[in-house]
Amino acid sequence: MSGAAESSPEMLVGRCYTRARRHPLMIGKWPGGRGRIWGGPYTVPQVVVLAVSLAGLVLTRGLWAHFGLFNYVIALGGPYGLSLLVRHIRVDGRNPLAVAASSASLMTRPSGGRLGGRPLRALGGHRPLIGVCSVTWAAPQSRSR
């Protein structure tokens, strides 16, 4: 710590790390550092979107693969285009996969929240609130300086 911060106990030090200081994990070289991957570097969400969309197209090729050699352009160009799109999309400064994971956890959690690790359930029936409240009046005290 600096001497100025230690000498004054009332001084508050705040730090803000902008997006420029946060470095995402990048995938850009072949293992062992033997060269760059074509079109890279890629972020982890880009690689996930590329792999999932490529797997989805391969698994459903019976539905869409009726174009001869153009099938290969679709099968390779579509996922690559989606991965480039994911590189540039930001939702409130977050990548789309983090937003999707947050949205999924928001939709699957209990509506009442959790208490002690268990879903909180509403109590059955109505329970009247019984209590005593007393209000007293006091004259304001005068301040002497």
Is the separation of the CB atoms in 47 and 17 below 8 Å? no
Q: Beta strands 114-115 and 42-43: pairing type?
A: unpaired
Q: What is the mean pLDDT of each successive set of 10 residues along the chain, which is 145 residues long?
A: 56 71 68 73 87 94 91 92 86 81 87 82 77 81 71
pLDDT at 33: 67
Residue 74's pLDDT is 92
Give pLDDT, residue 11. Answer: 78
**Buried b vs exposed e over 84-113: b needs ≥16 C-beta within 10 Å?**
eebeeeeeeeebebeeeeeeeeeeeeeeee
> pLDDT at position 28, please?
77
Residue 75 tokens, joined: 């099968």
